[in-house]
Amino acid sequence: MRIAIAADELTGVAETLPEELRRRGHVPLLHGVYADEERDDWAWASEAAARDVAQGTADQAVVACWTGTGASIAANKLPGIRAALCGDAQTAEGARRWNDANVLALSLRLTSGAALEEILDAWFAAAPSAERDDVENVEHVSELDRAAT
Q: Is the pLDDT of residue 141 over 90?
A: yes
- pLDDT of the residue at 53: 98
- pLDDT of the residue at 89: 98
- pLDDT of the residue at 68: 98
- pLDDT over 70, % of the chain: 100
Tally the domains of the chain.
Answer: 1
- pLDDT of the residue at 121: 98
What are the tens digits of pLDDT across the range 76-129? 999 999 999 999 999 999 999 999 999 999 999 999 999 999 999 999 999 999
35 exposure class (CB count in 10 Å sphere: 0-12, 13-18, 19+):
middle
CB-based contact 107:82 (threshold 8 Å)? no
Q: Is the pLDDT of residue 32 over 90?
A: yes
Given pLDDT bands bounded at 50, 70 and 90, which one contains residue 148? confident
- Classify the phi-psi angles of 3: left when phi > 0, otherwise alpha if psi is within -120 to 50, otherwise beta: beta
Distance CA 97, CA 91 (A): 10
Q: Is the pLDDT of residue 149 over 80?
A: no
The single-letter code of the amino acid at 137 is N
- pLDDT of the residue at 146: 85
- pLDDT of the residue at 145: 86
CATH at 15: 3.40.1400.10
Mean of per-residue pLDDT scores for the chain: 97
Domain extent, residue 37, equals 2-148
